[in-house]
Structure 1
Amino acid sequence: MTTPSSPPPLTEHAHLVHPKYRPDIDGLRAVAVLSVLAYHAFPQWIKGGFIGVDIFFVISGFLITTIILGSFQGDGFSYREFYARRVKRIFPALALVLLATMAFGWFALLPHEWEQLGKHVAAGAGFVSNFAFWSEAGYFDNAAETKPLLHLWSLAIEEQFYIFWPVLLGLAWKRKWRMLTVLGTVAAMSFLLNVTTIHSHRTAAFYSPLSRFWELMIGGMLAYARLHRPPPKPGWTRHAQSIAGLVLIILGLCYIRGGKAFPGFWAILPSVGAFFCIAAGPSGVLNRYVLASKPMVWVGLISYPLYLWHWPLLAYARILEGKLPSDGIRALMLVASFVLAWLTYRFVERYTRRSENPTVTAGLVAVMVGFVVLGMLATTRYYVGRHSDPYFNKTAAAAKDWAYPDGMSPINVDGEVLQQIGHGKRRVLFFGDSHIEQYGPRAVELSKIAPNTLDSLSFSTWGACPPIPNVVDEQNNLCAQRRDGGMRLAVSDKFDAVVFGACWNCYFSVTDKPTAEDAAADRYYYLDGKNKRRFMGGGGADFALNTLETVMTALSKHKQVYLLLDNPVGDGFGPEEFVKGGRLGNMTVGRMSPTAPWAPKQKALHERMRQIAQRSGAIVIDPIPTLCEKDQCIRADADATPIYKDAGHLRAEYVRTHATYMDPAMTTPAPAR
């Protein structure tokens, strides 16, 4: 249907048209928020619960587009009223949560955590959280479970939609474009961006509004259809849509996993499911008797503050515990979330949403600007938290001292993206995981102090991914792809030398039944034909090390091969271990003594790796003579400055000047004149 020849004006005196209230949509909100809460608190129960966010996106797209298009066809659309209503709907609960989160953070967080929270508060109040978390995402980012405002990324995308969408539809209305064409074009472009970037730029696909808008557009296209075409009469069509919608959502909850390429094509399940649920209307059988039931509607009414409150409570519980809290504590946090959400809805939201006083809107905007300023003061250390021992800053500086791939340039070699530095004649491939990456700063330092001797160095790496064929990591879905690509380059004629390196201690020093501390390593196994041989208790570690020896032996016949042995890792080396006391009481950080013991099982693996290198003809690169003496290994320098960034990785500052044992693999001495 084309637009009228004389469209109503977009004036400040127009009144927004709001769709008739549908309790079943509040029930659909309840499905979305309960899925998210269950996933965040008990991910082992509902592993696909994060799709609740995608359901929210479709609902928002439907309701907002209905308001905008309905207003265009009525008295006209008022931008001022639209944004004032958005402010009164969104800002009050968000301001309360930001205030509570920051107040508790001031009391309980360490200095570097407080600084990061300040950044997240400023980003949350400015509705750019998705970009903030996108910039932080990486192998060494601190755990998502310890970021109290991580969940605001989805709210930021919705706010960006509220800014972009009315302007585009207003332009389309004024130019008399076909609305359905506009909706379809935005949806198609966004979905195409989503599916084409999900593998190569997964973080971008997840956080970028451009790759998420298609989900809002699904709701928008349904809004257009309902405004311009009569809905199907009550009957089997609506019942079928209602059933199909909830079935698709349930399938998504059951089969979508965090390790899958999400959103990608997988996001179609919850998005189309939400589409069918809304399209079914209030008379659809499950809409009427399930979604519109009083308990579901009640949860739907408080769904927004419930979503805001639950994650800071769960995150702070984990921070206080220092690990995953017990089931009882997590359940208690959910109960507290419901209580706070109801109180927020009853005594704050209902008042501000009904208020017609323009000073309320202005005041809410001022409050949000204040949070942006307060967050910036915290992240720049002008406003510090309660725990402010200066040595905290020294350990925090160590924890953030990771410089790979700074100073290098990305290059594409046969379809593989590598980090490259140096222009020497010898071409060296550094192949492995983050324990290869940690030596990138040494290569950059050599490029400054001895550029004429530096070889042409290329790094093919992937975090927590050992450079051994047939090794499978259950939690790292891109490991095999990146590892196999690096292996193809290693055996090709593109490189004259290959350096194999990895956190061998992480994968192979524990092969018996795992303790709680070793449980993370129990995700690796060796795929022997159709047999899955686990590293722990299944003999997979021996198969993997034998394969590594076979590969290096074959390569050594044609090119130089190096095996980089591991640095000591584990208890005693991470600077964070020296924080003492309770976060709710007095906290101190102990000054690190110079050394820590080298674990016997790591020493035994070190010798085994040395023998593998010798049998295969590989050149050994051994950091132990530099780091250890008589089974005591350096962890801090004379003034108690940590040399490790965490329990496994050397910090960049130390590597630049002390990791000279890497030089033979990185340089070729200049010929004598």
Structure 2
Amino acid sequence: MSGSSSPAVAMATAPAAAVVTATVPTAAPKSYRPDVDGLRSFAVISVLLFHAGFAPFGGGFVGVDVFFVISGYLITQIIHSDCERQRFGLVPFMARRVARLYPALIATLLLVMAAGFVLFDPTQFRTLGASTIAAFLSASNIVFWQVAGYFDTSSELNPLLHTWSLGVEQQFYLVWPLIIYGAWRWRPSQLPWAILFVGVLSLAASQWFTVRDPSANYFLMPFRMFEFAAGGLLPWLERRSMPGNKVQEGLLGIGLLLLIYSVLAFDSNTVFPGVNALVPVVGAALCIYAGRARYLGVLLRNRIAVFIGLTSYSLYLVHWPLIVFYKYHVYRPLEFWDKLFLFSFPFVLAYPMYRWVEHRYRKIDLISWSGIKAASCAGAVALVLAPGAYVYFQQGLPFRVNDQYEKRVANPAITQASLFGGEGYALDATLGNVATGKPLAIFAGDSFALQYAAGFDYWLKQSEASMQGVFHHGCILGHDVTRLLAGRPRQDCLDTSRRLQGLLDDNDLPLVYAMSWTGYRHLLARPDGTRLEFASDADYGRFLIDNVMALVADNPERKLVVIGNQPGIRAAGGAGACLERPDYVTMMCLQSLQLPSERGLGYDINRQLARAFQANPQVLFLDPYDVLCRQGVCSAMSGQNVRYSDTSHLSVAGSLEVSQEWLEQIIRFLKEPAK
């Protein structure tokens, strides 16, 4: 899941699964497949382990793809069966889908809005209001694709982010019947070839968009169609030939191994979906095709697996909101027992949802409803949409906030000071007095460098000096190295590194360098995409030191200023998520706005940087801990001002504070004769 809200991030913290579960009738028909419900249990458990934060299951997001394959298999059979019986209708089909999915979804949306009212600060609650409307309209995937950005926090603090897959599922329900019915009317014998054609076209588009637009590729339905199509082809394969039990055992074993491999081997750096998604997709398809295997099939057909599969839709609906609200409330990094609780407790919440909502209302006949029932349905719609719209347009209901902080938020000066320290500055901005001519130095790095723009710009102007900025969000700048995004090397990072090198060529301009020293440990690669692996944090630190020193190696007279990591806030949502909580919530989170230095972001690597540079007279190392921490305690606040705009980046106030402490020292160092 990287430090942005790109698909990588969505993969690390937000993937969700829409499911179409089946209920075991009292007298189960021959068409019922308990092994398919067992496969659902594998998928939902994988995603729960992933979302709860258990590191070995970094590819647990592929459970979404398993659900899509299952949906393609079941829905294609339903539509094709209706076509053969001359009774297919899009409206009745969609009515059944709505009855199947919406009762539990509406209950979830109402419960989440109620919890948001109790817990969320106005900013997060307003976002939740908009997300509620998007989820109800099955447009979450489109909305989350459009709002994805570098500083977007929705992947971690949006309790409805997992409904993106419901959007994909519902959009599939609108398109797939037209494809199946149209192909069947044209030439029934060619229907499987039409499905195959759509699947291949979708897969090719998905692979292409892994480079063109990874976020669209992850969230939008057309690029997931091949996963549904893989399931849609299975009924014809089953009719054509079913191998003997030995072959089925082997195929099921291969399918399970493919699924296990993708869960354990994939992570946020895996190029996905595209061709890589074929690993879990083929694995799921093999499990469905050979799920009747006599011996190995017991893994999917046993009562526990089937029961979890039956409740998987409710389980999925409740698990992600629970995780988000829990993390928001405790306002600290999760420990092992937290993760275990977040994995297990959704099972407790899911059964009431399944028993009294999902199972009870799943077969409602919306087509034959009376006027009274139709009016009650309209009331349910209003019950969801009206609160969501009200919360959104009323700015998240700020009346719930503590009076002290409501006044603070209403103060324009404090609001401005809380913005990101690089807000409004171009990635090639000149900081300070632009009329000075030759800049004092080149200032380069990622957003952890750009965060100093407000402070450096202000204090450089007081000193009648300037620096030329070379910044790029989420990019490590250096020789022969780049950052991976959605599994691919970022060309824009390489381009920025070349621009930086061009500014340093044939001169002795000093370099001021800052970056997220801790943020790229598992995200680095060579320009050809070869991933860089490090045996330890110390090895990673040595690589970063060598990388920055290589930037100035061409000129022994060039001076270098290296800025380390700031401590940050070890909680989701930044300081605002604590300070602006409703006043009826216990403010235990205030304790987390201060933390011991050794628990801060980058504490160890700052010490490694200090040791590496202390004997080099051409290098000045500046540690933000020296400004932001006192007597071993780092505070997120300075008076009424918040030092951070989020969990790690300095605010305008923080940027001004730290820069003021440093700038005179930097100028003096840069103007000293080389030793």
State TM-score, norm by structure 2.
0.72
Aligned with residue 41 of structure 2, among 22, 25, 30 = 30
Q: Secondary structure at the match of 1:151?
A: helix
Name the CA shift for 1:584/1:307 in 2 (closer, same or farther; >3 Å): farther
Q: What is residue 85 of structure 1 aligned with on the other side?
A: 96
Q: What is residue 160 of structure 1 aligned with on the other side?
A: 171
Spell out the pairing of 1:13-28 with structure 2 (5 A cutoff): 20-28=31-39
| Bigger RCO (CA 8 Å, 6+ sep) | 2
Spell out the pairing of 1:173-192 with structure 2 (5 A cutoff): 173-174=184-185, 178-192=190-204
Q: Which amino acid aligns with 1:63?
A: L
Q: What is residue 115 of structure 1 aligned with on the other side?
A: 126
Corresponding position: 1:300 with 2:309 = yes
Moved more, 476-485 or 93-102: 476-485
- Return the alpha-carbon distance in structure 2 between the equivalents of residues 332 and 588 of structure 1: 20
Q: Which amino acid aligns with 1:125?
A: F
Q: What is residue 355 of structure 2 aligned with on the other side?
A: 346
Q: Which amino acid aligns with 1:272?
A: V
Name the CA shift for 1:633/1:164 in 2 (closer, same or farther; >3 Å): same
Name the CA shift for 1:387/1:326 in 2 (closer, same or farther; >3 Å): farther
Displacement of 1:443: 12
Q: What is residue 401 of structure 1 aligned with on the other side?
A: 419
Q: What is residue 255 of structure 1 aligned with on the other side?
A: 265
Displacement of 1:93: 0.8
- Return the alpha-carbon distance in structure 2 between the equivalents of residues 150 and 103 of structure 1: 17
Displacement of 1:84: 1.0
Q: Contact (CA 8 Å) 1:84, 1:361: kept in 2 or not? A: no
- Return the alpha-carbon distance in structure 2 between the equivalents of residues 67 and 403 of structure 1: 56
Aligned with residue 487 of structure 1, among 497, 517, 521 = 497
Q: Secondary structure at the match of 1:354?
A: coil
Name the CA shift for 1:124/1:429 in 2 (closer, same or farther; >3 Å): farther
Q: What is residue 514 of structure 1 aligned with on the other side?
A: none
Name the CA shift for 1:470/1:365 in 2 (closer, same or farther; >3 Å): farther
Q: Contact (CA 8 Å) 2:100, 2:362: kept in 1 or not? A: yes
Moved more, 260-269 or 434-443: 434-443
Displacement of 1:564: 7.0
Aligned with residue 388 of structure 2, among 371, 375, 379 = 375
Aligned with residue 212 of structure 1, among 208, 211, 224 = 224
- Return the alpha-carbon distance in structure 1 between the equivalents of residues 244 and 633 of structure 2: 78
Corresponding position: 1:232 with 2:239 = no
Q: What is residue 143 of structure 2 aligned with on the other side?
A: 132
Map Cα deviations across residues 532-591 of structure 1 (whole Å, 9 max, x no partner).
Answer: 5745xx37646643552342141588xx9875746965479974497399987344998x
Q: What is residue 433 of structure 1 aligned with on the other side?
A: 446
What do you get for the CA RMSD once the two structures are aligned?
5.3
Q: Secondary structure at the match of 2:167?
A: helix
Aligned with residue 618 of structure 2, among 615, 635, 660 = 615
Q: What is residue 149 of structure 1 aligned with on the other side?
A: 160
Q: Contact (CA 8 Å) 2:483, 2:493: kept in 1 or not? A: no
Name the CA shift for 1:198/1:614 in 2 (closer, same or farther; >3 Å): farther
Q: Contact (CA 8 Å) 1:525, 1:533: kept in 2 or not? A: no
User: Among the aligned pairs, what percent are the same residue?
Assistant: 26
Spell out the pairing of 1:144-543 with structure 2 (5 A cutoff): 144-174=155-185, 178-199=190-211, 201-226=213-238, 229-232=239-242, 234-280=244-290, 283-285=292-294, 288-356=297-365, 358=369, 363-364=376-377, 366-368=379-381, 370-381=383-394, 384=397, 387-389=400-402, 392=405, 401-402=419-420, 431-438=444-451, 459-462=471-474, 465=476, 467-469=477-479, 485-492=495-502, 500-503=512-515, 506=517, 532=534, 534-535=536-537, 538=538, 541=541
Q: What is residue 79 of structure 2 aligned with on the other side?
A: 68
Q: Secondary structure at the match of 1:554?
A: coil
Q: Contact (CA 8 Å) 1:398, 1:644: kept in 2 or not? A: no
Moved more, 189-198 or 130-139: 130-139
Q: Contact (CA 8 Å) 1:108, 1:583: kept in 2 or not? A: no
Q: Which amino acid aligns with 1:304?
A: Y
Q: Contact (CA 8 Å) 1:188, 1:214: kept in 2 or not? A: yes
Q: Contact (CA 8 Å) 1:87, 1:365: kept in 2 or not? A: no
Q: What is residue 516 of structure 1 aligned with on the other side?
A: none
Q: Which amino acid aligns with 1:204?
A: A
Moved more, 80-89 or 348-357: 348-357
Name the CA shift for 1:655/1:376 in 2 (closer, same or farther; >3 Å): farther
Runs of at least 5 residues in structure 1 that lack an aligned partner in the other structure:
1-17, 409-418, 508-519, 666-673
Runs of at least 5 residues in structure 2 that lack an aligned partner in the other structure:
1-28, 527-531, 668-675
Q: What is residue 14 of structure 2 aligned with on the other side?
A: none
- Return the alpha-carbon distance in structure 1 between the equivalents of residues 491 and 626 of structure 2: 35
Q: Which amino acid aligns with 2:449?
A: I
Q: Which amino acid aligns with 1:243?
A: G
- Return the alpha-carbon distance in structure 1 between the equivalents of residues 484 and 390 of structure 2: 41
Q: What is residue 6 of structure 1 aligned with on the other side?
A: none
Q: Contact (CA 8 Å) 2:564, 2:606: kept in 1 or not? A: no
Map Cα deviations across residues 310-357 of structure 1 (whole Å, 9 max, x no partner).
Answer: 221222222222134444444444444223322222222233223335
Map Cα deviations across residues 481-517 of structure 1 (whole Å, 9 max, x no partner).
Answer: 765554344334898879553247x55xxxxxxxxxx
- Return the alpha-carbon distance in structure 1 between the equivalents of residues 612 and 420 of structure 2: 26
- Return the alpha-carbon distance in structure 2 between the equivalents of residues 252 and 195 of structure 1: 18
- Return the alpha-carbon distance in structure 1 between the equivalents of residues 37 and 317 of structure 2: 17
- Return the alpha-carbon distance in structure 2 between the equivalents of residues 615 and 289 of structure 1: 68
Q: Secondary structure at the match of 2:161?
A: coil
Displacement of 1:658: 12
Q: What is residue 18 of structure 2 aligned with on the other side?
A: none
Displacement of 1:290: 2.6
Moved more, 116-125 or 238-247: 238-247
Map Cα deviations across residues 603-660 of structure 1 (whole Å, 9 max, x no partner).
Answer: 99999999899727x9x9999999999x99998899x354641464343699799989
Name the CA shift for 1:588/1:34 in 2 (closer, same or farther; >3 Å): closer
- Return the alpha-carbon distance in structure 2 between the equivalents of residues 327 and 564 of structure 1: 35
Displacement of 1:383: 5.7
Name the CA shift for 1:572/1:390 in 2 (closer, same or farther; >3 Å): farther
